[in-house]
Amino acid sequence: MVDSESLFWADQLAKKIVGRENFFFAEKEIPKLKKWVVKSSSSLSGVLHIGRLSDLARGEAVYRALKEQNFPVEFVYVTEDMDPLRKIPKGVPESFEKYIGFPVSDIPDPWGCHKSYDKHHLEHFLGTISPFLSEHPKIFSMREEYQKGSFNEMVFGLMGRVNALIEILNRFRIEPLASNWIPWKPICQNCGNLQTTRAIGFDGKSVEYVCEDYKFETKTAKGCGFHGFSDLKKANGKMPWKSEWAMQWKFWNVCSEGAGKEYESRNSAFWINAEICEKLLDFPMPEPIFYEHLMVDGVKMSASLGNVVYPSDWLKVSRPETLRLLYLKKLMKTRSFSWNDIPLLELELDRLVENVKAKKGDAKEFVQSQRLLHFVEMPNCLLVGSKFDFATAIMLAQLFAKNQEAFLKLGEMGFVSSKSKEIREFVFERLNFAREFAALHLSAEQKIRLVDMSEVDFQKIDSKAKQLFFSLAARIETAKSAEDIQAIIYDEAKSNGLEPAKLFNAIYLALLNRDNGPKIGSLVFAFGKEKVCERLRQIK
């Protein structure tokens, strides 16, 4: 039996959720509900990079783990479409400056193809993320839920106990909120702006407000000067984030939700909402899925830095499973991605598939690998662990324009023994990815070609290794596979008292005029044994 410590993180979290008995902030039992929810959400502004997928991928894993423990659960994605527009994103006409401060749900579609600004982005978002998800969440909009009155009871409840709300919020504030602070933020009935309204009174039913200018970082939301009353029953407005998040949890019966690691700190919005949720809304806080954010080459992704990785860029050069692997393997480990990591991620996925197939490792390791693969794998996807690794594919794709030729070469190398349709499809797909990868992400120095004799720097080649080239060539000619060649080189060095690394090094210099490269066994086959042996004999 495998102990719970060794379970995969999503299984561990699911086990914790299933076994929960009491509230965290109050002496209360967790209710028995017919349906719980794993929630994910995001705003619809901002750049749609691969980092935006992380919350959904992790939420999906917890949702699946819960389902497998027979816990009644649904997967839900909520669009934060009440968020105000703060600046004019690239591609949006300057005339949209008049909508600064409006909820994005209430702004027209600048491209004219959807009902509104947010719906345009939502469709794009869902279309982009769906190839990476194995389970598709139910979609909800905050604006629509407010309009339906979904939060009315909770809003009245919180407005009625505003002193208790202020007491919780003030414990985490440097500048305390005034005792007459009003949480409700109306949308101006006259101009439609959200950010410009300032609440000045509450009579138990309606919030009295004025509409005035509001300064964002770079833009100003223009107030219209209107003085009006926002009837809470009509719900034309919103609660602040520190209480709205709690209302979402109660409304959807959320038992788990992801959040970046900055929310782990006890004075973050997550924990403040957790306390509001349990103490003022009488609903247990969800179990958080805290995770690290993805960095690219060690820095945060941003359009201005030009290092944004789009999901569509990923799918040009790699399988969706590799991105899932990156997100799912461990939760709290700084993750920096660089395009150079793609071959390694592909290799990691190949090894994972192989380890699970071959039941490698002790019981604990095996279960870990098996569960990780289970969550990484997409339905109907072909995952073939293979000696034909991505690095070899990159090399072959550069040397052979046609997949069929490369496929035959792989047969010669002893990498592909079966000619089954499945294997062939896998090889062709990998070659296509590798070809794109070489074209898009390899620098001139990283590209593979057999250099001219005139380019070889004889001085750099180890003199003892050079002496072995002639006899080595004779042995390489007899090799039957790429692995044979690796073994021959190793043996030739060892039996002549030379460190094998020095001989490998010398061969790279003779063929590529650099001291490293893809596995020499495959490289020799890819260039052709004859050509390579001729080169080795020429160097003295």
Q: How far is the CB of 225 from Zn ion (least distance, A)?
A: 7
227 three-state secondary structure: strand
Separation of alpha carbons 47 and 352, rounded Å: 32
Cβ neighbours for 5, distance < 8 A, ≥ 6 positions apart:
none
Query: Which CB, 187 or 325, lies closer to Zn ion?
Result: 187
Positions in 70-109 near Zn ion (CB under 5 A): 109
Cβ-contact 413, 518 below 8 angstroms: no
Q: How far is the CB of 425 from Zn ion (least distance, A)?
A: 36
- Answer for which of 4, 111, 297, 357 binds Zn ion (CB under 5 A) is 111
Q: How far is the CB of 100 from Zn ion (least distance, A)?
A: 13
Phi-psi region of 216 (alpha: psi -120 to 50; beta: other; left: phi over 0): beta
Query: Which CB, 114 or 464, lies closer to Zn ion?
Result: 114
Q: How far is the CB of 193 from Zn ion (least distance, A)?
A: 5
- Answer for which of 15, 114, 374, 441 binds Zn ion (CB under 5 A) is 114
Query: Which CB, 32 or 90, lies closer to Zn ion?
Result: 90
Query: Which CB, 1 or 113, lies closer to Zn ion?
Result: 113
Binding characters for Zn ion, 189-228, by CB under 5 A (x = yes): -xx-------------------x------------x-x--
Dihedral, CA of residue 250, residue 256, residue 257 and residue 260, to nearest 10:
130
Query: Which CB, 114 or 441, lies closer to Zn ion?
Result: 114
Q: How far is the CB of 104 from Zn ion (least distance, A)?
A: 13
323 is a contact residue toward Zn ion (CB under 5 A): no
Entry field: residues in the chain = 540
To which H or E segment does residue 214 belong?
strand 214-215
Q: Residue 459: exposed, middle, or buried by beta-carbon count in 10 A (0-12, 13-18, 19+)? A: exposed
Q: How far is the CB of 203 from Zn ion (least distance, A)?
A: 20
3-state helix, strand, coil in the chain (%, to 5): 50, 10, 35
Stretch that binds Zn ion, among 43-51, 110-118, 383-391, 499-507 (CB under 5 A): 110-118
Taking residue 471's Cβ as centre, other Cβ atoms within 10 Å add up to: 12
Positions in 165-194 near Zn ion (CB under 5 A): 188, 190-191
Q: How far is the CB of 117 from Zn ion (least distance, A)?
A: 8
Q: How far is the CB of 122 from Zn ion (least distance, A)?
A: 10
Query: Which CB, 114 or 219, lies closer to Zn ion?
Result: 114
Q: How far is the CB of 318 from Zn ion (least distance, A)?
A: 29
Question: Quick one: which of 73, 68, 54 has its CA closest to 12?
Answer: 68
Query: Which CB, 168 or 224, lies closer to Zn ion?
Result: 224
Taking residue 163's Cβ as centre, other Cβ atoms within 10 Å add up to: 9
Tell me how many residues contact Zn ion (CB under 5 A): 11
Separation of alpha carbons 76 and 95, rounded Å: 35
Query: Which CB, 46 or 500, lies closer to Zn ion?
Result: 46
Q: How far is the CB of 120 from Zn ion (least distance, A)?
A: 3
Separation of alpha carbons 41 and 289, rounded Å: 13
38 three-state secondary structure: strand
CA distances 302 to 46, 90, 294, 336, 507, Å, are: 10, 13, 12, 14, 42
Query: Which CB, 123 or 499, lies closer to Zn ion?
Result: 123
- Answer for which of 1, 32, 34, 113 binds Zn ion (CB under 5 A) is 113
- Answer for which of 49, 58, 120, 250 binds Zn ion (CB under 5 A) is 120
Rg (CA), the chain: 30
Give the residues across from 254 on adjacent strands.
37
Give the residues across from 345 on adjacent strands.
none
Query: Which CB, 143 or 279, lies closer to Zn ion?
Result: 143
In the complex, the residues that contact Zn ion under the rule CB under 5 A are 109, 111, 113-114, 120, 188, 190-191, 211, 224, 226
